[in-house]
Structures are given as C-alpha cells and as structure tokens.
Amino acid sequence: MVRSQAFRWAAVLLLLPIVGLAVPRAARADGDVNFFLGQKSLDHGDWGPLDGQSEFGAEMSFGKKDWPIAIAVDLFSSADDYSSLGAKVEGSTWELGVGVRKIWKSGNTMPYIGGGLASISGAFKVDSAGVDESDSSLGVWFGGGVFWRLGSRFNIGLAARYSKATITLFDVDGEGGGLHYGMLLGWGWPATK
C-alpha cells in the first residue's frame, strides 16, 4: 500500500504544474467537470469477492468552442472489503486517465464518447496477516455517456467506461481495469443562455 500511495502522490505532484497551466486556459474555453458515483466490475478470477467495488471519480473535459474534440482528464478510485475467518481483506484500484472526448451538444442534452491512456493501480491488504500488495501500470480506457444541462450550469447524467491494464499482485498477472458504470453530477462553463 505504501508503494501505491507513493505512486498516487507522485502522480498528483506531476499533475499540479499541468493543472496550473490548464485551469486558466480551461476557464477561457468550454468545459465540464462531472463527478462520478457508481460501481467498478473487476475480473472475478483476479479479484474474487472484491470484484464489485464502489467507485467515486471525476471526468473533466475542456477545449475551445471550435475544437472538434475536448481534452479529457479523469480520476477514479474504487474500493471494497470483506471479512473471512476474522481477517479483514481490502481491495482497491485507482485510475488516472488522459485522452480526448467528443461531446455533441444538442440543446441541453450532451451525449459523449472518449478514450485515451490510463495509469491504473491496484492493491490488496489483509490487516491481520500483515499482507499489503500493490502494483501500477499503463493501460487504456474508453467510454461514453450522456448528461443534461439543468439550468445554466448544473449537469446530471449517466456514464459507462471500460479500462484495461495488466498489474502484478502476489507474483500473478491480473487485470486492474474493468467496467465502470454510474451517474454523473457536475457543472459546465460557460453558462448556457
């Protein structure tokens, strides 16, 4: 878990300069930030009873109004746990995706698709046994959904995506990505008229 946390902090620190440059540009462009609340379905053979994890994340899209596609920066975290024979077992994943997203704007209805590269990590932890295993690797993601603009800025919608990356836990290669599905709540700019 320490290695996974170090990776996450390194990714955040590397992103700060990019975000520092992107936010002023995004403020001058069209964009949306939608928070994701849903589920991540992982491969049962790799994750066992931890294959259905609760997930929280954010999808950010921004670009000039006349661009045919937007820049996508997404962050997702999922986790689940169970107890067996007095031992608590925890499993979690974390994904940072960058890529492109095409959003079709038809009134207040905005269907979209996108894809790109992802940095995906996964971890298992068993407290009573002192087991703590994690790994990270590069992979891909693609997904889509639809959201509706309510009022001048508020977004609500549905999203699904698939991610894929091979990670190694306990010396066994397995799938760290999976199927993500849930609802979106967020906001967009500039305000619609």
pLDDT mean over 141-167:
95
pLDDT mean over 49-53:
93
Question: Is the model's pLDDT at 193 over the cut of 70?
Answer: no
pLDDT at 122: 95
Q: Are 186 and 155 in contact (CB under 8 A)?
A: yes
Radius of gyration, CA atoms only, the chain:
18
Q: Are 99 and 115 in contact (CB under 8 A)?
A: yes
- Residue 192, number of CB atoms within 10 A of its CB: 12
pLDDT mean over 69-84:
93
More confident residue, 42 or 13: 42
pLDDT at 2: 43
Q: Are 139 and 118 in contact (CB under 8 A)?
A: yes
Domains and CATH numbers, the chain: 2-189 (2.40.160.20)
Provide the token pair at 59. 């999808």
Q: How many residues does the chain have?
A: 193
CB-side neighbour CA atoms (13 Å) of 123: 23
- β pairing state of 179-189 and 154-164: antiparallel
Helix/strand/coil for 127: coil
More confident residue, 87 or 140: 140
pLDDT at 127: 80
pLDDT at 84: 80
Task: For residues 91 and 69, give the distance between their C-alpha atoms in angstroms, rounded to a whole number.
Answer: 35
Tens digit of pLDDT for each residue in 91-127? 999 999 999 999 998 889 999 999 999 999 999 998 8
pLDDT at 189: 84
Using alpha carbons only, give the angle 144, 155, 118 rounded to the nearest 5 degrees. 35
More confident residue, 105 or 159: 159
pLDDT at 165: 96
Task: For residues 114 and 118, give the distance between their C-alpha atoms in angstroms, rounded to a whole number.
Answer: 12
Tens digit of pLDDT for each residue in 128-153? 777 889 999 999 999 999 999 998 88
